[in-house]
Structure 1
Amino acid sequence: MIAGDRTKVWYRFYLTAKLILLTIKEFPSNRTQTHGKESGYVIVTTGLEPAEDTLRHALALADAFGVPVVRRGDFSLSQLRKRHGDDEVLVVSAQGARLEVPGKKPFFFHPNTAAFRIKRLMRGDTDTMLVACQIQPGDEVLDATLGLGADAIVFSHATGAEGKVVGIESERVLAIMVEDGLKHWASDSEQLERAMRRIEVRCENHLEVLQGLPSRSFDVVYFDPMFEMTVHSSQGIAGVREFANPQPLTEQAISEALRVARRRVVMKEGKTGKIYERFGFVPFRSRGQQVVYSYKETGGGE
């Protein structure tokens, strides 16, 4: 056996041993929170014959959730649930991570509309969201309601390598899954991959984040209060319904956003929505759109 092969064998032995040791550890006291209620532990496991990269990926996700990795062995998912007394199983494979909950559709990260929106931008087309936000290369954008991250990806593509996009997501399961997807999703589009990798995800309440930020620290602050409605009406992302935050947008959050933004605060909602009227936002009209973008100038631009 040559030295390189010997190193690979020993490294795989190390990963396997670490996985077994983590399996027999006691579960920590922190539990994953869904809608403010204890949902039990998330079981993190792998496919039946995981490769080294998959083992490393599983260990990283388990660390993010604060739980051990459960060695899959020959157990089915239902057997793992019965054995460990938990319903939510995060399965890590070469294709990525997917969250399996009995009776629900699996939840896994996907860039969704961001992929074809970026393709259109590369062809020279415009994007209504970017126009409403007056996005320029190098801008710093705070997406205060990250959700599944599609809008943040488009922001990241438009602001470029010199820009900055920070996404805030209060729901822990959603934040971890989306952050992981942004890091690992493989695409034929180099531009899409670069945009995803640049996004910073923060798992916090957006009001608390805004309150802690200096005035005029981002060019644009963006809200998508229609995310919960979108989740409940879309078959493509049905698996995430249990993890979306249903809390409405507040006057206090808008006030803080207006302090933080240098240029404007922008909100997205369904075409029949009237949330923008309550906050005194100006609708940005675009023909044929299923959503309405509205904005409020901050007076803090250059």
Structure 2
Amino acid sequence: MNIAVTTIRNYSRSVREEAEERGRALSLPFVPREGTLEDMRARCHKEGFLIYGKKQPSFWIGGEEYRFHLGTAVLRCEQMRRGHEDRLCRLLPEGTVSVLDATFGQGGDSTVLSWFLGDRGQVTALEKSIPLYEIGRAGLASFTDKKEESLTKALRRIRLLHEDFRHFLENAEPKSFDVIYFDTMFRSPVKREVNRMEGFRKAASYDRLDEGILTLALHIAGKRIIVKERPFSPLFQNHLFSSVHSHKGQSTAYGVIDL
């Protein structure tokens, strides 16, 4: 993806310095903010921009913008606090203390898993997309839920790495995580018109899961592999899956590979 780093229109010296520093860290060029983003895109021949300001960075591409937010993770954690089960967390085997979320994305599942595990566990998350990694990194470090301290603590516990999951799994130590979780971007998005996540979708990586990836994960997971997909996904026909958990009326399902 051909992108650059810039700032908001009215920026301070410290904002520009942060943008330049993050550009160097991410190996992205810094472009001074001049005019509209549309004009800058045409002038600099860039697809999009990571934008830094007084608040958390955002990503702009093709007129769409994406910022860090927790979405339904807040509601899911609140439901568990009230004693209700979460569809994903209920699939974690007893004694789970380490989870690899191989597809961080917006960070909702990582947040919920981290909240569920609490101080007794650790979530490590991977994100290949530079914009999603950078927005996630900043969000995990600075986002604060003023109403629920446990949610803020859950965010801080997540270890986010800018990594491709295939490369990471090829180099990870055997049985180094109790559970490995995959939620790759759906080619057929759920409620696309309602969710209005085009900025996020344009920033995301669309790497596919296949038997080769799952076989790699078998060597790294100690207890279980969990895959989130559409219920009709042909991936669930693979012989490796022990079970598929879906319910009538739900647009997603969880496939489980037990070790």
Residues 260 and 226 of structure 1: is their aligned pair in 2 closer, same or farther, counting only changes over 3 Å? same
Q: Does 1:175 align with 2:136?
A: no
Residues 67 and 266 of structure 1: is their aligned pair in 2 closer, same or farther, counting only changes over 3 Å? closer
Q: Determine if contact 1:149/1:178 at 8 Å carries over to the other structure.
A: yes
Q: Deviations over 1:269-302 (max 9, x none)?
A: 123334222243111244653311121111xxxx
Q: Distance in 1 between matches of 2:42 and 2:36?
A: 10
Q: Distance in 2 between matches of 1:112 and 1:283?
A: 25
- Point out where structure 2 has 5 or more consecutive residues left out of the alignment: none
What aligned pairs does 1:84-163 form with structure 2 within 5 A after superposition?
84-102=44-62, 104-134=63-93, 139-163=97-121
Q: Does 1:267 align with 2:227?
A: yes
Q: Distance in 2 between matches of 1:272 and 1:44?
A: 42
Q: Deviations over 1:192-220 (max 9, x none)?
A: 22212221122222122112112211110
Q: Determine if contact 1:142/1:218 at 8 Å carries over to the other structure.
A: yes
> AA paired with 1:245?
S
- Partner of residue 166 from structure 2, selected from 200, 207, 213: 207
Q: Does 1:289 align with 2:258?
A: no
Q: SS state of the match for residue 43, structure 1?
A: strand
Give the structure 1 partner of residue 196 of structure 2: 236
Residues 177 and 232 of structure 1: is their aligned pair in 2 closer, same or farther, counting only changes over 3 Å? farther
Q: Determine if contact 1:147/1:227 at 8 Å carries over to the other structure.
A: no
Q: Deviations over 1:73-115 (max 9, x none)?
A: x74434544554434222222342112223x311222112211
Q: Determine if contact 1:135/1:158 at 8 Å carries over to the other structure.
A: no
> AA paired with 1:183?
A
Q: Determine if contact 2:226/2:254 at 8 Å carries over to the other structure.
A: yes
Q: Distance in 1 between matches of 2:41 and 2:84?
A: 48
> AA paired with 1:48?
N
> AA paired with 1:165?
V
Give the structure 1 partner of residue 207 of structure 2: 247
Q: Distance in 1 between matches of 2:250 and 2:45?
A: 46
Give the structure 1 partner of residue 6 of structure 2: 44
What aligned pairs does 1:72-91 form with structure 2 within 5 A after superposition?
72=33, 75-81=35-41, 84-91=44-51
- Point out where structure 1 has 5 or more consecutive residues left out of the alignment: 1-33
Q: Determine if contact 1:266/1:294 at 8 Å carries over to the other structure.
A: yes
Q: SS state of the match for residue 192, structure 1?
A: helix
Q: Distance in 2 between matches of 1:43 and 1:232?
A: 31
> AA paired with 1:118?
C
Residues 157 and 76 of structure 1: is their aligned pair in 2 closer, same or farther, counting only changes over 3 Å? same
Give the structure 1 partner of residue 176 of structure 2: 217
1:262 shift after superposition? 1.3
> AA paired with 1:45?
T
Identical positions, percent:
27
TM-score normalised by L of structure 2: 0.86
1:66 shift after superposition? 2.4
The list of structure 1 runs, each at least 4 consecutive aligned residues, that deviate by more than 6 angstroms after superposition, is none
Residues 118 and 132 of structure 1: is their aligned pair in 2 closer, same or farther, counting only changes over 3 Å? same
Q: Distance in 2 between matches of 1:80 and 1:86?
A: 8
Which structure has the bigger radius of gyration?
1
Q: Deviations over 1:36-88 (max 9, x none)?
A: xxx2x413213414485x4565345323322454444x744345445544342
Q: Does 1:185 align with 2:131?
A: no
Q: Distance in 1 between matches of 2:43 and 2:29?
A: 14
TM-score normalised by L of structure 1: 0.74
Q: Distance in 2 between matches of 1:60 and 1:135?
A: 43
